[in-house]
Amino acid sequence: MLSYLLKQEFKILLEQLQSLKSDPFGYGKLYKSHTASGTMKEDEWREKFPNINVDFEVNVRILRQGTTQ
C-alpha cells in the first residue's frame, strides 16, 4: 500500500515538473545518452519532456516501527 501511495506522489510530482518544463531528475541526460549520436539540442528536449512517460518502481521495506523521541 505504501509503495502504491509513493508511486502516485511521484507521478503527481512529474506532472507538475513537466508543466513547468523543469527536469531536475536528469531524464534529458539519460535520453541523450541513448540517442545514436549522443547529442541533442536543449530546445529539442524541452519539446519532448512534457510528453515523456515514466514507470516508477517503488520498493519499500520498513525496518522499525514505533515512536521516536
pLDDT of residue 36: 80
Q: Where are the domains of the chain?
A: 2-51
Percent of the chain with pLDDT over 90: 46
Once rounded to an integer, what is the mean pLDDT over residues 31-58? 87
Once rounded to an integer, what is the mean pLDDT over residues 11-35? 92
Q: What is the CA radius of gyration of the chain?
A: 16
Contact 46, 21 (CB under 8 A): yes
pLDDT band at 67 (very low <50, low <70, confident <90, very high): low
35-51 residues labelled b (16+ CB within 10 A) or e (exposed): eeeeeeeeeebeeebee
Helix, strand or coil for residue 14?
helix
